[in-house]
Structure 1
Amino acid sequence: MTGAGGAAAPVVAVLGTGVMGAGMVASLRRAGLPVRMWNRDGRKARALTGTGAEAFDSPAEAAAGADVVLTVLLDADAVIDVIRRAAPAAGTPWLQCATVGLAGVDRVIAVAGELGLVLVDSPVLGTRKPAADGALVLLASGPEEIRARLAPVCDAIGRRTLWLGEAGAGSRLKLACNAWIFLLTAGVAQSIALARGLGLDPQDFFRAIEGAPVDSAYARAKGAAMLAGDHTVSFALAGAVKDLGLIRSAQQAAGVPDRLTAAVLETMAAAAERVDDAAAVDMAAVLEVLGADPALVPGDGRP
């Protein structure tokens, strides 16, 4: 298979085909790139073979002969376990897209050196739909000389790639970005809950901010899911709790006060305790722990 200009399209091994990985596979295939994939639950990988991607039973089989290995897994432990099992050929570019935190990225860098891989630490901004649409933002950090080789892959899965310097910078920026995303999510839930608690229609909150500098498409999308009680996973609640822990650790390491993060983490963790499987619901479920006590809602007939 060839890409633009007749150049051979790089073969990409995608290790992890969950919510994000599945979208990336679809985007890579839409761009005409050959894809070899593996997932811990093999059914999820096999469900994507209709795209033309090949599913394999082990990380090593998927990585065999790949020009680029892309990992989309939960955390540093999973990433390191899977890349060791994959054992790509020395010199293979490794596009590492998970959010792993400060200590985690140091471990990833060490393992890449041990295996002789060319690491690009590149967590992404975006959730289910941007992944499926090839509209992620890649926070890439790694050797400058690898950029051209990775361009077909980055262009397929993302609308923009920010190159940030040496490996590790991408993971640091991802923590700063996610800190804002979680605060915004919790803030939207708080405003909806307060409007309800005061006997108002929460939609009036969105009407009030419409078109103003404080308005945002993200707040509207997440707010709509909250109001509909739609917990279809875009960003899993369990992942939010995990990432908030990484953000708090980074703040402590940097000497940055963690008061806001601690409050959001406590709230997200409380929401996670209320559901059967925090990995199977979206973080929009945080509204469930911020809602007003019905006994205290104005107009309830209290004396």
Structure 2
Amino acid sequence: MFGALGRATLWLGPAGDGTKAKLVLNSWLVSLVEATAETLSFAGHLGLDPTSIVELLRSTPLGSPYAVHKATTMLAGNFTPAFALKHALKDAELAVQAAHSSGTRLALTEALLPRWRQTALLHAGNDLSAVYITA
């Protein structure tokens, strides 16, 4: 059954480890989206064409397919939700809480939360890539 629902089935351990893995991966995802938004914004502020940066990312190992896809949608202003900002923000906050509970910190995730919360005031239902608007 799991094979029909997803690309791969991976045993992570006892009950609850799947939820932990989801928090870990979503923490990575929000950091990647934030880095992508900041990169495009930074390029524009330096007078570079952000589209050329996306092409550089696409042609090098630096650009993951997900980051390149999100960069393309950011530049197009297409924030049709694939993963709504409000849900990504919730998961990022839960990841920070879980990190604190386990005795560690997610400094990058903590740093992006204030701006993501602000962005979510107007764009909660949009895709998480809407953070580009305020980058």
Q: TM-score range by the shorter chain?
A: over 0.9
Size of the alignment, in residue pairs? 135
Amino acid at match of 1:175: L
CA distance in 2, matches of 1:203, 1:259: 29
The corresponding residue for 1:286 is 131
8 Å contact kept, 1:179–1:244: yes
8 Å contact kept, 1:240–1:268: no
* Pairing 1:168–2:16 present: yes
CA distance in 2, matches of 1:218, 1:258: 21
CA distance in 2, matches of 1:257, 1:204: 34
The corresponding residue for 1:71 is none
Which of 99, 111, 114 lines up with 1:251 in the alignment? 99
Which of 31, 36, 49 lines up with 1:188 in the alignment? 36
Q: What TM-score, normalized by structure 1, do the two folds share?
A: 0.43
CA distance in 2, matches of 1:172, 1:162: 14
Tell which deviates more after alignment, 251-260 or 217-226. Answer: 251-260
* Pairing 1:209–2:57 present: yes
Alignment deviations for residues 119-178 of structure 1 (CA, whole Å, 9 cap, x no partner): xxxxxxxxxxxxxxxxxxxxxxxxxxxxxxxxx2x1221111111121011111111111
Which of 80, 103, 115 lines up with 1:267 in the alignment? 115
Identity over aligned pairs, percent: 38
CA distance in 1, matches of 2:38, 2:69: 15
**Could you say which structure has the larger radius of gyration?**
1
Amino acid at match of 2:80: T
CA distance in 1, matches of 2:9, 2:62: 26
Summarize the alignment of residues 1-303 of structure 1 with structure 2, pairs less than 5 Å apart. 152=1, 154-275=2-123, 278=124, 280-290=125-135
- Provide the secondary structure at the position in 2 that maps to 1:171: helix
Higher-RCO chain (CA-CA 8 Å, sequence separation at least 6): 2
Superposition RMSD in Å = 1.2
Deviant stretches of 4+, over 3 Å: none
8 Å contact kept, 1:235–1:282: yes
Alignment deviations for residues 29-83 of structure 1 (CA, whole Å, 9 cap, x no partner): xxxxxxxxxxxxxxxxxxxxxxxxxxxxxxxxxxxxxxxxxxxxxxxxxxxxxxx
Alignment deviations for residues 78-105 of structure 1 (CA, whole Å, 9 cap, x no partner): xxxxxxxxxxxxxxxxxxxxxxxxxxxx
Query: Which residues of structure 2 form unaligned runs of 5+?
Result: none
- Provide the secondary structure at the position in 1 that maps to 2:59: coil
Alignment deviations for residues 237-296 of structure 1 (CA, whole Å, 9 cap, x no partner): 100110011000011011112321111222211110233xx1x21011101111xxxxxx
8 Å contact kept, 2:44–2:50: yes
Instruction: Give, in angstroms, the shift of residue 185 of structure 1.
Output: 0.3
- Provide the secondary structure at the position in 2 that maps to 1:192: helix
Instruction: Give, in angstroms, the shift of residue 213 of structure 1.
Output: 2.2
Amino acid at match of 1:223: A
Q: What TM-score, normalized by structure 2, do the two folds share?
A: 0.94
